[in-house]
């Protein structure tokens, strides 16, 4: 790599007044990506503490709650996929439930008909959903905003009936009942807790991969297309290529989540993948923070637990409670929990550190 840049040379320029400081008061330093004001050891420590908590938690909870948490993580992976597309690239999808179903059925058919071990079904499920997503993303290039939402809606409404139609493969209305996988011997874990850890590992991997993707050259291109498509083209970004890629990457994650759902629940049927599932993903995405990675976990919690909580609050009108929760969330935190609190936290940390005289 040659030393070709005028590093330092630029410093010898005639002084140019930067008209920046105090020019505009902004509350948040940046909403994407937040520049965490932590040095590496602290970030690692915070991450390690969270992971340690996730590892210890299942031993303190009942089987039912462990199962619920596993579901939360599965939804989190699906929402993470949707965030890549809708949050970072600005393409709305109402059809991700369909891709979730495609992933679930891929895993179920591979396990049921071909005896493929459960863990080996994830890569093919992801791959098939990637291809489906790319195929779907190509015509989607012609649509934007609400029109794209309608096109993707087609995926969500068509999927359950397609699954019923191809019943030699999918088992039709009855679906496919799967044998729940056994935990590896010698670990001393029961089935639910083993699956919890399995899904946790996939979630952590998915978040890591998504973060790498979105923080790199690809992620910048995706956000550039969302923020200013014309300028993005002028910067040499091949817009159709990246938009299609965003679709494929997004559905890959969602498809893997679907495969995990099939494995963990041990049963797939067309009715589990209704239009409401697609809408739930969008709700989860918005509640957690549409262009965030951590927000996917909040979204997973919302999708899994709020309907149950609403049921506890009112037997008569659980969906009214659900709607109220959604309204409150959007009113109080329009950018989602992570999208609102994250920058606030970063801001507070920075203030705290500069108050202590630490370098920025």
Partner 1 sequence: MTEIPLRPTIEVESRGAAPLLEIAGVTLRFGGIVALSDVSFTVGEGRIVGLIGPNGAGKTTLFNCLSRLYRPERGDIRFNGKSLRHAAAADIAAMGIGRTFQSPALFASMSVLDNVKVGAHPRGHNGPLRDAITLPQARREEREIDRRARAMLAFVGLEDAATRQAKSLAFGAQKRVELARALAAQPSLLLLDEPAGGLNHEEVAELGALIRSVRDRLGISILLVEHHMGLVMSLSDRVVVLNFGRVIADGPPDDVRGNAAVTEAYLGKRH
Binding of partner 1 by 43 (CB under 8 A): no
Name the minimum Å distance from CB 184 to partner 1: 26
Name the minimum Å distance from CB 64 to partner 1: 35
Name the minimum Å distance from CB 33 to partner 1: 7
For 227, the token pair is 């923020």
Binding of partner 1 by 352 (CB under 8 A): no
Closer to partner 1 at the Cβ: 89 or 272?
A: 89
Burial of 127 (0-12, 13-18, 19+ CB in 10 A): middle
| 298 contacts: CB under 8 Å, gap ≥ 6 | 284, 287, 288, 289, 336, 337, 338
Name the minimum Å distance from CB 3 to partner 1: 9
Closer to partner 1 at the Cβ: 125 or 246?
A: 246
- Which of 260, 88, 268, 92 is closest to 173 using CA atoms? 268
User: Are 300 and 75 in contact, with CB atoms under 8 Å apart?
Assistant: yes
> For residue 280, what are the CA distances in angstroms to 76, 170, 219, 226, 327?
11, 24, 25, 23, 14
List binders of partner 1 among 177-216 (CB under 8 A).
209-210, 212-213, 215-216
Rounded-to-integer distance, Cα 196 and Cα 71, Å:
9
Binding of partner 1 by 31 (CB under 8 A): yes
In what helix (H) or strand (E) does residue 268 lie, and over which residues does it extend?
A: strand 267-268
Name the minimum Å distance from CB 243 to partner 1: 12
Q: What is the per-residue binding string for partner 1 in 274-313, x denoting contact by CB under 8 A?
A: -----------------x----------------------
Residues of the shown chain interacting with partner 1 in the complex, contacts defined by CB under 8 A:
1-2, 4-7, 9-11, 13-21, 23-24, 26, 28-33, 35, 209-210, 212-213, 215-221, 223-224, 226-228, 230-239, 245, 249, 291
């Amino acid at each position: 790599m040659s030393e070709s840049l005028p590093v330092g040379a630029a410093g010898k320029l005639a002084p140019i007044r930067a008209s920046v400081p105090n020019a505009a008061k902004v509350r948040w330093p940046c909403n994407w990506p937040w520049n965490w004001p932590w040095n590496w050891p602290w970030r690692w420590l915070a991450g390690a503490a969270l992971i340690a908590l996730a590892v210890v938690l299942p031993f303190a909870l009942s089987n039912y709650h462990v199962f619920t948490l596993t579901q939360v993580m599965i939804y989190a992976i699906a929402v993470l996929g949707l965030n890549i597309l809708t949050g970072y690239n600005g393409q709305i999808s109402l059809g991700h439930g369909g891709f979730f179903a495609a992933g679930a059925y891929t895993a179920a058919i591979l396990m049921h008909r071909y005896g493929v071990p459960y863990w080996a079904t994830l890569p093919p499920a992801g791959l098939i959903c990637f291809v489906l997503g790319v195929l779907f993303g190509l015509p989607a290039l012609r649509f934007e905003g609400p029109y794209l939402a309608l096109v993707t809606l087609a995926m969500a409404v068509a999927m359950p009936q397609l699954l019923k139609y191809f019943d030699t493969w999918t088992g039709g209305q009855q679906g496919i009942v799967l044998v729940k996988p056994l935990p590896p011997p010698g670990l001393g874990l029961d089935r639910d807790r083993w699956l919890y850890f399995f899904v946790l590992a996939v979630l952590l991997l998915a978040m890591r991969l998504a973060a790498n993707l979105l923080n790199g050259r690809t992620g910048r291109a995706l956000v550039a297309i969302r923020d200013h498509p014309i300028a993005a083209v002028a910067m040499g970004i091949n817009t159709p290529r990246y938009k299609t890629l965003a679709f494929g990457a997004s559905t890959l994650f969602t498809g893997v989540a679907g495969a995990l759902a099939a494995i963990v629940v041990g049963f797939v049927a067309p009715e589990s993948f209704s239009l409401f599932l697609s809408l739930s993903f969008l709700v989860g995405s918005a509640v957690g923070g549409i262009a965030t990675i951590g927000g996917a976990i909040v979204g997973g919690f919302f999708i899994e637990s709020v309907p149950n909580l609403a049921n506890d609050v009112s037997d008569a009108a659980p969906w009214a409670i659900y709607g109220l929760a959604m309204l409150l969330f959007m009113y109080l935190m329009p950018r989602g929990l992570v999208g609102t609190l994250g920058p606030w936290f970063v801001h507070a940390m920075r203030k705290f550190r500069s108050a202590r005289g630490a370098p920025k």
